[in-house]
Amino acid sequence: MTIRVRFFASLRESIGTGEKIIETKNTMSVAEVWTHCAETTQLPAAIPATILIAINQEYVKPDAMVNSGDEIAFFPPVTGG
């Protein structure tokens, strides 16, 4: 199973990349994808409550399941002014 993980704004800056590709044989939830990425980056171990998550450009909760070929996106809170 191949999963494309994208990080935006301050998340991208903190880990030094905007994208990771995960290859796995196991079914994963979005929270498990985050944990997998956190093992090799500066991300916190658990998804902060303020992070927005999308699978294939549709917002989801951390317990959503990921399928092969999916694109997962993590967004920090958006501010503006």
pLDDT of residue 80: 63
Residue 57 is assigned to a structural domain of this protein: yes
Residue 80 is assigned to a structural domain of this protein: no
Cα-based distances in Å from 22 to 13, 35, 36, 50, 78 = 20, 12, 9, 23, 26
pLDDT category at 77 given cuts 50, 70, 90 is confident
pLDDT of residue 19: 96
Residue-wise pLDDT for 23-65, tens only, equals 999 899 999 999 999 998 888 999 999 999 999 999 999 999 9
pLDDT at position 78 over 90: no
Q: Supply the range of the domain harboring residue 20.
A: 2-75
pLDDT of residue 42: 86
Residue 81 is assigned to a structural domain of this protein: no
Number of domains in the chain: 1
CATH of the domain at 47: 3.10.20.30
